[in-house]
Amino acid sequence: VRAPGAATLDASGLLVIPGAVDVHTHVLGALAEDGRAALAGGTTTAATFIDEAPGVAPAEIAERAIAEIPSGPLQLAVHGVVWEPGAHQPRELGRLARLGVTTVKLWLAYEELGIMADDGQLHRIATEAAEEGVTVMAHCENGRIATVLAEELRASGRTGLEQHGRARPIALEAEAVHRFLAICGMAGADAYVVHVTGREPLEEVLRARRAGQRVQAEVCTHHLLFDDGRYEGDDALRFMMTPPLRSPADPPALWDALARGDLGILSSDHSHVPLHPDKTALAGDVTAVPYGVPGVQWRLAVAHTAGVLEGRLSFERLVEVACAEPARALGLFPCKGTSRPGADGDLVLWDPQAVTEVGAATRRDGLDYSPYDGMVLTGGPRVVVSGGEVAVREGEVLGAAGRYLPREAGRRVARAR
């Protein structure tokens, strides 16, 4: 059956996959540029975390974010963030859920910024989330100890970028994942662990699942690809994110977990922070440099090059972790994440042989660097369709209509506790 006025795209020699879905991005404030980068890489749908606004309730920040979305070219869901856990008001998660914001993130680190949730605050919010059918996400690192380690490094004058791994060791992450999941388990809340970086925190996720908890866990492209050797080199500033890159034994374990299904979701954690002057100005102090790296454009092509072509991941599994499972985690499946009849008109015509070098000529996010600069990637979109419109053709980003994707809370009665 052919719809009247429908266009025909020639996909001979190409793989047709659903528009990709990126659960973890920070694109508000740079929606136009980051959105074009996402589309160029085959990502038509993403979820973005709300930015901080001191003294403003999360639901109000979310409302502003929702109003901003149509100005960009992406289809976007919104994650709430409890930026001020000490000021959290009961029923705030219900307000968020009524806006279609059914995931909320807490910080278990960054005590020095005043955003870290303590155990009591986490317990209260997880309990409320279980009642509202909201999923709790957490940045898992033990923030109290991270503060002490940073103080020790500054006191001894060891603040070079090569200290990044020692400033935030993986045990801080594993401990916080354990505690996060224990507290969500008590509350009966669904949990989502963002950016699992290696074996120890992954073990905590698996332990909680074995105990019957509903836990989703993601890995980010940069943790799959790089290890902490990057902090010894001249380019260390290009790899400043938290949690940090880990030991060389961790990336292979993450690939295995992604292939096996222990990790279900591949995300970019795209962060719009330029190298100059934001990062270079503070490069002398590893405890003060702005963290976060861009990557929304390269998630599929990097995973195709380093995963599929290296035999670590089947192409079908790449589609699962970059499209289908992210859509399920967001509650957007099967409108998103699949190309079956009835799904939204988001498609990628993927050329498994396309070759792209990451660099100023190919980056679309308007930033002055990428941690993937200089890499030659194999596989990329020839055509991207978003919302039924051709958004990218042969490397040219034509754009698409941005729209907000509200979600429904899975409201339920909390487990007995």
Q: Which two tokens stand for residue 220?
A: 């980010």
Which residues are CB-neighbours of 100 under 8 A, at least 6 positions away? 66, 77, 78, 404, 405, 406, 407, 408
Half-sphere exposure of 185 (CA within 13 A, CB side): 16
CB count in 10 Å sphere of residue 283: 15
**Residues 268, 273, 277: CA angle, nearest 5 degrees:** 150
> Please, which of residues 163-192 interact with Zn ion by CB under 5 A?
none
Q: Are 248 and 287 spatial neighbours (Cβ–Cβ below 8 Å)?
A: no
Q: DSSP label at 52?
A: P
Q: Are 192 and 243 spatial neighbours (Cβ–Cβ below 8 Å)?
A: no
| Shortest Cβ 24–Zn ion spacing (Å) | 6
Rounded CA-CA distance 348/391 in Å is: 10
- Stretch near Zn ion under the rule CB under 5 A, chosen from 183-191, 196-204, 267-275, 362-370: 267-275
Q: Which is nearer to Zn ion, 18 or 58 (CB)?
A: 58
Q: Which is nearer to Zn ion, 291 or 315 (CB)?
A: 291
- Stretch near Zn ion under the rule CB under 5 A, chosen from 210-218, 261-269, 365-373, 408-416: 261-269
Q: Which two tokens stand for residue 395?
A: 């490397």
Please report, as a single letter, which amino acid is at residue 227. D
Please report, as a single letter, which amino acid is at residue 81. V
Q: Which is nearer to Zn ion, 132 or 269 (CB)?
A: 269
Q: Which two tokens stand for residue 132?
A: 């509202």
Q: Which is nearer to Zn ion, 48 or 356 (CB)?
A: 48
- Site track for Zn ion across 44-63, x = CB under 5 A: --------------------
Q: Tell me which residue of 67, 61, 91 sits closest to 79, measured CA to CA.
A: 61
Told to check if 262 binds Zn ion by CB under 5 A, we report: no
Find how far residue 290's CA is from the centre of its chain.
Answer: 17
Please report, as a single letter, which amino acid is at residue 174. A
Residues in binding contact with Zn ion, number by CB under 5 A: 1
Residues comprising the chain, all counted: 417
| Shortest Cβ 365–Zn ion spacing (Å) | 15
Q: Which is nearer to Zn ion, 107 or 350 (CB)?
A: 107
Rounded CA-CA distance 22/27 in Å is: 11
Using CB atoms within 10 A of its CB, is residue 147 exposed (0-12), middle (13-18) or buried (19+)? middle
| Shortest Cβ 220–Zn ion spacing (Å) | 8
| Shortest Cβ 26–Zn ion spacing (Å) | 6
| Shortest Cβ 48–Zn ion spacing (Å) | 10
- Tokens 């490397």 belong to 395
Q: Which is nearer to Zn ion, 308 or 330 (CB)?
A: 330
- Stretch near Zn ion under the rule CB under 5 A, chosen from 71-79, 170-178, 198-206, 264-272: 264-272
Q: Which is nearer to Zn ion, 128 or 269 (CB)?
A: 269
Q: Which is nearer to Zn ion, 111 or 269 (CB)?
A: 269
- Stretch near Zn ion under the rule CB under 5 A, chosen from 33-41, 148-156, 266-274, 363-371: 266-274
> Please, which of residues 97-126 interact with Zn ion by CB under 5 A?
none
| Shortest Cβ 269–Zn ion spacing (Å) | 4
Q: Are 326 and 337 spatial neighbours (Cβ–Cβ below 8 Å)?
A: yes
- Site track for Zn ion across 268-307, x = CB under 5 A: -x--------------------------------------
- Name the residue whose CB lies closest to Zn ion: 269
CA of 283: how far to CAs of 78, 239, 291, in Å?
31, 12, 11
Q: Which is nearer to Zn ion, 81 or 130 (CB)?
A: 81
| Shortest Cβ 194–Zn ion spacing (Å) | 6
> Please, which of residues 314-333 interact with Zn ion by CB under 5 A?
none
| Shortest Cβ 140–Zn ion spacing (Å) | 12
Q: Which is nearer to Zn ion, 142 or 268 (CB)?
A: 268
| Shortest Cβ 241–Zn ion spacing (Å) | 8
Binding site for Zn ion (CB under 5 A): 269
